[in-house]
Amino acid sequence: MSERPRESGPVAAPDQFELYVGYLPVPRRYVKFVRVVVPLTLWVLAMMGVVWASRQPDPGAAVWEDEAPQLFAGTILAKPYPLLLAAGEPGAAPVTHALVEGGKHGGARAIPFDQQFVMVRGYRLSRDGREIIELADDNDAIAPAQGASVSGILPRAIGPLTLRGEIVDSKCYLGSMKPGEGKTHKACATLCVRGGIPPMLVTLAPDGSLSYTIIARNETEPMGEEILEYVGEEVIVQGQGFEIGGIKFVGVANGSIRRP
C-alpha cells in the first residue's frame, strides 16, 4: 500500500500565529506591543489628567475652623433664618453669622432664643467675608448670657432686585465642602437646603467679583421646598431685597425663580 504524498505549501513564520500562554515565554510581537503602546497610553492619560485638572474652577478660599469649638456672644434673630448678631467695635455694625447644625440641618435650636443675648459654642466657616457658625453637638451650645442685646436691628428694605447666579447651600459653599457648587454638588446642596440650611444665590459681576444673597420667602419666612428643583443651577431670581445685620436677602414671595 503506497503512502499518500504530503501536501506542499508555504510554511508559517515562527511568530505568525503565536498565542500568549502563561507558562511559555511571551511572544516577541507581544513584547514589542507592551514596550511601546502601554507607556504611550500612560503618557496620554497623564497629559489628559493634567489638562482636565487645569481647567477645573478654583474652589475658593473657604475655611472651616473645625479643630475645636469657639465661643461667640451676641443676639439671636430667628427669622427668616437663625442669625447671631455679635456687637463689634463701638459705632461699628454688628458682625452677623448665620447659624446651622452639624450635618445637613439648619439652626433650629436657635429659634427659642429669638431676641435674647446668648453665648454660642460652635465652628466658624467663612469665605469672602461671609461667615456661618455650625453649632457644637453638646446640649449647651446655645445658652442665655449676661450682656446687652443688639437692639434696633430690623430688616432694611433695598427695593426690587433681579439677580442672576447659582443657588448653593450656604454651609457647604462657605467651607464645609470644596467645591460647594456646580452640578456635581447639586444632590448634596439639595439635601442641605431641604434640611433648613439657608439657600444662597452667588452672583458673578462683570468685574469678576462675587456677591452673595440669601433667598427667603419674605422678611419673616424661610423658603419652602419649591426652591429645591433650582438648587445647583443657574437661575434668574426676582423679588424684594432687604438687609439684616449686613446680610443681603431677596424675598421671592411676590417674585419668581426661573431658569435663563
User: For 19-42, what is each residue's pLDDT tens digit?
Assistant: 767 777 777 777 777 788 888 888
Neighbouring C-beta atoms of residue 18, cutoff 10 Å: 16
Nine-digit cell at 49?
489628567
DSSP per-residue codes, 131-188 = EEEEEPSSTTSEEE-SSPPP-----EEEEEEEEEEEEEEHHIIIIISSS--SGGGHHH
> What is the pTM for the complete model shown?
0.76
Neighbouring C-beta atoms of residue 29, cutoff 10 Å: 12
Nearest Cα neighbor of 125 from 155, 94, 102, 153 is 102
Task: Name the residue ranges covered by the structural domains of the chain.
Answer: 63-258
Spans of the chain below 70 pLDDT:
1-18, 20, 54-60, 87-93, 150-152
Q: Please, are residues 132 and 99 in contact by the beta-carbon 8 Å criterion?
A: yes
What's the confidence (pLDDT) of residue 29? 76
Q: Please, are residues 178 and 60 in contact by the beta-carbon 8 Å criterion?
A: yes
What's the confidence (pLDDT) of residue 63? 84
Those residues whose C-beta lies under 8 Å from the C-beta of residue 3, and which sit 6 or more positions away, are none
Nearest Cα neighbor of 193 from 218, 219, 226, 164 is 226
